């Protein structure tokens, strides 16, 4: 059931997102903030426009993609522990991006890398889909599939050990060095995925209950679930291609969204996008202050939430 005031909650999340964005822009030794855009300090304006603004916007879009992906996965496989990290989608996308980095040249440019990440994400999710069969054991088997994919990624580093430092960004998740070029292929994916996922809110509501209920209301479960998982793979892959594996945002955001607006996906999907965006922006702001990647912050918080959710749901099977 939708909680009363869900539209107001979305508005509140949007305000929180704006506040987090302004705080993010103000971090750094130069003192440059959004106000620098209207001042006479050319250096401060350049810092905001060429360094901080693209970094922030890439983080917001990536976080929103991961939030939507988490909501889609948790509804599609009916498991509150489902997230890009434990469904093979995230680790597959990382593997695709790393392959593009190892190949180098044109393949390492943002758009081809996003395409490589998409292929990896779809393959990773497909492998899990085949492995679980009808068992529904997404969490445990997903961890195994993800571990194999991560192991393959690490193995690739032996081919190009000089890329180890750069590739570590894909494994941890970082917004360092993000530019307008990285934003260009990301924001159209976010817009498309968010619109489609929100439009599929009714389908997600049915899938999240059980297959018998879905069949009873005339929903073709397998095609729709496959479409939902593919949409999640697209969202995850776009985010990973831009910022790497920013862990657990896809787990945290949907839980926060359902707590705030209820389980109806017409509201939960956009709330997940906003929560994911806020999470990444806040994590990157904290990460800049303490000198660690944003992914390290989200991984630390996400691990705590994962344990809490696992205990509440009675395990991870």
Q: How many residues in total does the chain contain?
A: 317
pLDDT at residue 317, rounded to an integer? 43
pLDDT at residue 30, rounded to an integer? 46
pLDDT at residue 125, rounded to an integer? 77
pLDDT at residue 204, rounded to an integer? 95
CA dist., res. 134 & res. 159, Å (int) = 37
Q: Which residue stretches of 179-264 are H helix?
A: 180-183, 186-199, 201-207, 211-216, 221-243, 249-261
CA dist., res. 290 & res. 308, Å (int) = 26
User: pLDDT under 50 in the chain at which residues?
Assistant: 29-31, 316-317
pLDDT at residue 189, rounded to an integer? 94
What is residue 248's three-state secondary structure?
coil
Give the end-to-end CA distance of the chain in Å, rounded to a whole number.
26
**What pLDDT digit, counting tens, does each position of 87-146 carry?**
788 888 888 888 888 887 888 787 888 888 888 888 887 787 776 655 555 666 777 777
């Amino acid at each position: 059931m939708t909680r009363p005031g869900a539209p107001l909650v979305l508005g509140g999340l949007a305000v929180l997102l704006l506040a987090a964005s302004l705080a993010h822009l103000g971090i750094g030794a130069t003192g440059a903030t959004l106000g620098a855009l209207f001042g006479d300090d050319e250096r401060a304006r350049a810092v905001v426009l060429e360094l901080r603004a693209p970094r922030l916007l890439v983080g917001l879009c990536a976080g929103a993609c991961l939030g939507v992906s988490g909501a889609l996965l948790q509804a599609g496989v009916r498991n509150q522990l489902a997230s890009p990290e434990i469904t093979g989608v995230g680790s597959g996308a990382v593997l695709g991006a790393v392959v593009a980095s190892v190949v180098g040249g044109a393949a390492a440019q943002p758009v081809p890398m996003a395409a490589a990440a998409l292929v990896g994400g779809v393959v990773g999710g497909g492998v899990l889909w085949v492995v679980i069969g009808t068992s529904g054991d997404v969490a445990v088997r997903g961890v195994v599939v993800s571990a194999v994919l991560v192991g393959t990624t690490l193995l690739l580093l032996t081919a190009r050990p000089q890329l180890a430092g750069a590739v570590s960004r894909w494994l941890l998740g970082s917004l360092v060095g993000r530019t307008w070029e990285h934003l260009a292929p990301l924001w159209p994916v976010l817009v498309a995925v968010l619109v489609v996922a929100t439009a599929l809110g009714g389908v997600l509501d049915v899938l999240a209950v059980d297959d018998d209920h879905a069949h009873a209301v005339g929903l073709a479960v397998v095609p729709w679930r496959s479409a939902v998982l593919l949409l999640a793979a697209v969202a995850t892959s776009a985010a990973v291609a831009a910022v790497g594996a920013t862990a657990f945002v896809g787990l945290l955001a949907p839980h926060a969204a359902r707590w705030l607006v209820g389980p109806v996906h017409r509201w939960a999907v956009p709330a997940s996008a906003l929560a994911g965006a806020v999470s990444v922006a806040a994590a990157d702001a904290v990460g800049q202050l303490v000198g660690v990647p944003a992914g390290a912050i989200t991984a630390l918080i996400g691990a705590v939430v994962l344990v809490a959710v696992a205990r509440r749901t009675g395990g991870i099977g």
